[in-house]
Amino acid sequence: AAQEGSQGEAGQGASLPSSVSWRCALWHRVWQGRRRARRRLQQQTKAGAGGGAGTGAGWLATEAQVTQELRGLSGGEERPETEPLLSFVASVSLADRMLTVTPLQDRQ
């Protein structure tokens, strides 16, 4: 959500926010084994279609497939999804050219 507005150089009279914040939450342990799953999916894609996922849309589709696969593999870990594993706020200040990450919750 934009917190403040300021006059930007990108457009003629366009107003760009001087800072932006995102509230982020991780609900699944999808970072463990991610590299191995991504490599396997990329090899399958190359073998089947003759090309890789070099475009932005292809990269996002591959990451979504990896996430779905890893969620399916961790089926033995039954946990109610009432609270995320990790919550944080990421804030970007264009004036200071700074990224700030503030943890809100960290349960393991």
Q: Span 28-32, mean pLDDT?
A: 75
Measured distance CA(77)–CA(89) in Å, rounded = 26
Measured distance CA(20)–CA(69) in Å, rounded = 32
Measured distance CA(30)–CA(71) in Å, rounded = 6
How sure is the predictor about 15, in pLDDT bands with cuts at 50, 70 and 90?
A: confident
Instruction: Say yes or no to pLDDT of 35 above 80.
Output: yes
How sure is the predictor about 31, in pLDDT bands with cuts at 50, 70 and 90?
A: confident
Percentage of the residues of the chain whose pLDDT score is greater than 70: 67
Predicted confidence at residue 5, as pLDDT, reads: 43
Predicted confidence at residue 10, as pLDDT, reads: 47
Q: What is the DSSP annotation of 78-89?
A: ---TTS-SEEEE
pTM of the model: 0.47
Predicted confidence at residue 77, as pLDDT, reads: 56
Structural domain boundaries in the chain: 1-27+82-108, 30-80
